[in-house]
Amino acid sequence: MSSMVESSRQFDGFEEDESLMNVTQRKCDIFNGKWVYDSNTYPLYKATQCPFLSDQVSCRRNGRPDFDYEKWRWEPQDCEIPRFNGIEMLERLRGKRVIIAGDSINRNQWESLSCLLYSAIPPSDAEVKVRSGVYKVFRAKEYNCSIEFYWSPFLVQLDETSEKGRRVLKLDTMASSARQWKGADIMVFNTGHWWVHHGKLQMWDFLKFKGKLMKDLEVEKAFEIGMKTWAHWIDRNVDSTKTTVFFRSISPEHKLGKQWCHNQTQLIMDESYIESFPRPIIGIVEKTIQEMRTPVKYLNITRLSQYRKDAHPMVYTSKQGKLLTEKQRKQPQVYGDCSHWCLPGLPDTWNVLLYTLTLLENPRETL
- Active-site residues, by number, are 104, 337, 340
Helix (H, G, I), strand (E, B) or coil at 338: coil
CB 366 within 8 A of CB 92: yes
Strands (E), the chain: 33-37, 72-76, 97-102, 126-131, 135-140, 145-151, 156-159, 168-174, 186-189, 206-209, 212-214, 244-248, 296-299, 318-319, 322-323
For the chain, what is the radius of gyration of the CA atoms? 20
The set of residues, in sequence order, having a beta carbon less than 8 Å from that of 16 and lying 6+ positions away, is: 82, 85, 88, 359
DSSP assignment letter at 126: E
The set of residues, in sequence order, having a beta carbon less than 8 Å from that of 24 and lying 6+ positions away, is: 360
CB 62 within 8 A of CB 319: no
CB 74 within 8 A of CB 35: yes
Alpha carbon distance 224, 228 (integer Å):
6
DSSP assignment letter at 172: E
- Long-range contacts, stretch 268-275, CB < 8 angstroms, 24+ apart: 268/3, 268/306, 268/307, 268/308, 268/309, 269/3, 269/5, 269/307, 270/3, 271/2, 271/3, 273/306, 273/307, 275/250, 275/302, 275/306
The set of residues, in sequence order, having a beta carbon less than 8 Å from that of 203 and lying 6+ positions away, is: 153, 154, 158, 167, 169, 194, 197
Helix (H, G, I), strand (E, B) or coil at 8: coil
